[in-house]
Chains A and B, each alone.
Chain A
Amino acid sequence: MMTPPDLRTIGEVGSQIRSRALSPVHLARTCLERIDGRRELNAFITVMGPAALADAAAAEREIATGHYRGPLHGIPVSLKDLIDVAGTPTTSGSAVPARHASRDAALVTRLRDAGAVIVGKTNLHEFAFGTTGEESAFGPARHPLDLSRSPGGSSSGSAVALREGMCFGSVGTDTGGSVRIPAAASGIVGLKPSIDELPCTGIVPLSGTLDHAGPMARSVADVRIMFHALQGRTGPAGPPGPERFCFGVPEPYFCERLDPDVRRALAGARERLAEDGHRVRTVSVEHAARTPDVYLHIVLPEASWFHAPTLEHYAERYSPGVRLRLEMGRYVLAEDYVRAMYMRTVLTRAVNRALDGCDALLLPTLAIAAPRLGDAMVDVDGRQEPVRAVMLRLTQLFNITGHPAIALPAGTTRDGWPVGVQLVGHTGRTDRLLDIATSVESRLQA
């Protein structure tokens, strides 16, 4: 019989590892068994079993000699398979020939410096160019609650791995919501930091000016531990004190077309925060309705530029949908790309104005629950809409503007599907956003 997943937090197992009550080798082996035992979920593309056990044994020896590196020491983590690990292929979820990295990505070096144990590389929507994970040369990652559903994407395997106890933290990438969307669909926590806060060196790009790397985990505290390690920071973070915050809920555009259960979850969150003495007010983001147009005219040409050489030689190896999106980018005029970049500055100022006087924006992460794999259209409160557009709608603005944003669980639909809320903070103040998220998480879990 399959053992239940180990869903403890990094904080919990980390303190046991530090006191030597828990063996990193045992922990890594448990995660590897869990990966092997649920292969039907297709969460991983490459499992690094022998290397993980060797790294865990090294961590165990180091800790035994009194050299404890910090809260990630000996902790099993995973990486989206867009991220280079020396000596393993970076497949990007594609049948296009993989990149064979001779060195680790900058973020992987930092995780190793923090003592993390890398158990493998997770499945994703091909080249991160999609929101469901279903276009992967390795088959789709599947939602643990129902194999016919998507766990959200593009960092789909990372979300599944966390939900199923196959690792304790993961690193994803987020160009339009690819960390936050799977976090919402799968009931975990995902952080997109401020733009350029984490280096993307050694990560296959989708859109050079919209790409963000970000940590995923099962709690805000764990995401904070991962984030600090990814920044190369050492030393424990002090817990935030109790504080009253002001939240702005951007109702126009962001709350107009939502699944009724998502709307209910947002209303519940809003009500509970107000009950606790936080201020919650309605705000608006000017020009927000133009977000998809601005996004499209940036992501398409930037992705097409990167893939142009590969499209010349391996066009037939791309998934049909991904290939067509890349081909579409070749038709965007230069003046429209520049126009979109100009509108980016306009939208950035608009989000800053919406945040003025608030600590964070509060909005849903995803307008729907986990969609069925293969569906092109989805019903949103009685109206049929394209799945891809619906899934990106509430997240992509903050890739355009670079504001930090975090997705965290906010209960479930009446059918038991996870629903998330999103908090958006001031640029460059990601730690402050994590303080706020800690407070919101504790209230929403109560």
Chain B
Amino acid sequence: MESRSQQQTEAWLRAACADADRRGLSQLRPLLEALARSTAALREAERAVHDAERVAGAADAEAAGRPAPGETTE
């Protein structure tokens, strides 16, 4: 089964390709497909970092001055 992130990436790619076609830039399609793969990898990498940080007590996220996604701050 596809993850929500994969579905989002595919929806983004469809919309981006349609927009590029509309603008007469159909040569962009292979580049956008490569970008979509790279975006999926970037998102996966960030998730992996956050998973590791949660295990380690999220110390690194604090050092970066940014709450982990989904964390609430008061």
Of the 9-residue stretches A211-219, A330-338, A364-372, A429-437, which lies at the interface with chain B? Answer: A330-338
Q: Per DSSP, are chain A's interface residues mostly helix, strand or loop, or mixed?
A: helix
Q: Is the CB of A339 within 8 A of B28?
A: no
- Please tell me if the beta carbons of B64 and A346 are within 8 angstroms of each other in the complex: yes
Q: Which of B2-33 contact A (CB under 8 A)?
A: 12, 16, 19-20, 25, 27-28, 31-32
Cβ–Cβ contact A292 & B38, under 8 A: yes
Residues of A within 8 A of B27 (CB): 320, 324
Interface residues on B, range: 20 to 34
> Contact at B46–A328, with CB atoms within 8 Å?
no
Q: Are B45 and A328 in contact (CB under 8 A)?
A: no
Q: In the complex, what distance in Å separates the CA atom of A327 from the CA atom of B30?
A: 13
Specify which chain A residues have a CB less than 8 angstroms from the CB of B46 in the assembled complex.
339, 342-343
List B residues 31-70 near A (Cβ within 8 Å).
31-32, 35, 38-39, 41-43, 45-46, 49, 60, 63-64, 66
Is the beta-carbon distance between A293 and B28 smaller than 8 angstroms?
Answer: no
Residues in chain B near residue A340, CB distance under 8 A: 42
Chain B residues with CB below 8 A from A345, complex form: 64
- Please report the C-alpha to C-alpha distance between residue A111 and residue B41 in the assembled complex, in whole angstroms: 43
Cβ of A112 under 8 Å from chain B: no
Smallest CB–CB gap between A308 and chain B, Å?
14
Indicate if the CB atoms of B25 and A336 lie closer than 8 Å: no
Please tell me if the beta carbons of B41 and A333 are within 8 angstroms of each other in the complex.
no
A157–B14 Cα distance when bound, in Å, is 40
- Complex: chain B residue closest to A290, CB-CB: B45
Q: In the complex the two chains form, is B42's CB within 8 Å of A294's CB?
A: yes
Chain B residue nearest in CB terms to A348: B64
Of B12, B16, B42, which is within 8 A of A339 by CB? B42
Report how many residues on chain A are interfacial, defined by Cβ distance under 8 Å.
Answer: 24
Cβ of A51 under 8 Å from chain B: no
Report the Cα distance A333→B13, complex, angstroms: 11
CA distance A340 to B63 in the complex (A): 17
Q: Could you say which residues of chain A place their CB within 8 Å of the CB of B64?
A: 342, 345-346
Say whether B45 contacts A342, CB under 8 Å: no
Closest-by-CB residue of B relative to A287 is B45
A331, A336, A343, A346: the one within 8 Å of B16 (CB): A331
A327 engages B25 (CB within 8 Å): yes
Does A64 sit within 8 A of B, measured CB to CB?
no
Cross-chain contact A339 with B43 (CB below 8 angstroms): yes
Residues of A within 8 A of B38 (CB): 292-293, 296-297
Q: For residue A294, which residues in chain B have a CB less than 8 angstroms away from its CB? A: 42, 45
Hey, which chain B residues are within 8 Å of A325, CB to CB?
Answer: 31
Check A20 for interface membership: any CB of B closer than 8 A. no
Query: How far, in whole Å, are A342 and B16 apart by their CA atoms in the complex?
Result: 24
Asked whether B35 lies within 8 Å of A331 as measured between CB atoms, the reply is yes
Interchain CA distance A343-B43 in the complex, whole Å: 10
* Contact (A296, B49) CB under 8 Å given A327-B25, A345-B64, A346-B64: no
Q: Across the interface, do A332 and B35 meet the contact criterion of CB distance under 8 Å?
A: yes
Determine if A349 is an interface residue (Cβ-Cβ < 8 Å): yes
Instruction: Report whether A297 and B28 are in contact in the complex, using a CB–CB cutoff of 8 Å.
Output: no
Assembled-state Cα–Cα distance A328/B28 (Å): 7
Q: Check A324/B25 contact, CB under 8 A, given A287-B49, A342-B46, A346-B49.
A: yes
Closest to B64 in A: A345
When the two chains form their complex, are residues B31 and A324 in contact, meaning their CB atoms are under 8 A apart? yes
Report if A336-B42 is in contact (Cβ < 8 Å); known contacts: A325-B31, A328-B28: yes
**Are A290 and B42 touching (Cβ within 8 A)?**
yes
Alpha-carbon separation in the docked complex, A418 to B12 (Å): 43
Nearest-Cβ distance from residue A356 to partner chain B, whole angstroms:
15
The answer to whether B66 and A342 touch across the interface, beta carbons within 8 angstroms, is yes
Interface pair B45/A343, CB less than 8 Å apart: yes
Q: How far, in Å, is B61 (CB) from chain A's closest CB?
A: 9
Q: How far is the CA of A420 from the CA of B31 in the complex (A)?
A: 30
Report the nearest A residue to B30, measured CB to CB: A324
Given known A-B contacts A290-B41, A293-B42, A294-B42, A324 and B28 have beta carbons under 8 A apart: yes
- Please pick, from A287, A331, A333, A349, the residue contacting B32 in the complex, using a CB distance under 8 A: A331
A328 in contact with B42 (CB, 8 Å): no
**CB within 8 A of A336: which of B19, B31, B43, B63?**
B43
> What are 9 A-B contacts defined by CB distance under 8 Å?
A290-B42, A292-B38, A294-B42, A296-B38, A324-B31, A328-B28, A339-B43, A339-B46, A340-B42
Interface residues, chain A, with chain B CB atoms under 8 Å away:
287, 290, 292-294, 296-297, 300, 320, 324-325, 327-328, 331-333, 336, 339-340, 342-343, 345-346, 349
In the complex, the 5 A-B pairs of residues with the closest C-beta atoms, listed nearest first: A293-B42, A290-B45, A331-B16, A345-B64, A293-B38
Given A343-B45, A346-B64, A349-B60, list of 4 further CB < 8 A pairs?
A325-B31, A328-B35, A331-B19, A331-B35
